[in-house]
Amino acid sequence: MRISGLLVLAGVSVGLLALGGCAGSYAPGAGSAANPGSFPRPAAAGEVLAQATVLQKDGEQPQLCLGGVAESYPPQCGGPPILGWDWATVDQSETASGVTWGSYAITGTWDAAAFTVTQPPVPLSLYDPLAQVDPRLDEATPGPSEESTLLRLQDELHAAEYSPTTFSDWSEAPILSDWTQNGYLWVSVIYDDGSIQRFFDQQWGEGVIIVQSALLTAK
Q: How far is the C-alpha of 204 from the C-alpha of 13, rounded, in Å?
A: 27
Domain ranges of the chain: 3-43+131-213, 48-126
pLDDT at 43: 97
pLDDT at 132: 80
Q: How far is CA 105 from CA 6, 12, 111, 129, 196, in A?
A: 21, 10, 18, 9, 24
| Amino acid at residue number 34 | A
| Amino acid at residue number 22 | C
Residues in contact with 174: Cβ distance below 8 Å, sequence separation at least 6, in sequence order: 39, 41, 162, 189, 190, 196
**For every one of its 219 residues, what pLDDT tens digit does the chain have, with 9 covering 90 and above?**
666 655 443 333 333 333 333 333 334 334 444 344 688 999 999 999 999 999 999 999 999 999 889 999 999 999 999 999 999 999 999 999 999 999 999 999 999 999 999 999 999 999 988 778 899 999 999 999 999 999 999 999 888 877 777 776 666 678 999 999 999 999 999 999 999 999 999 988 999 999 999 999 998
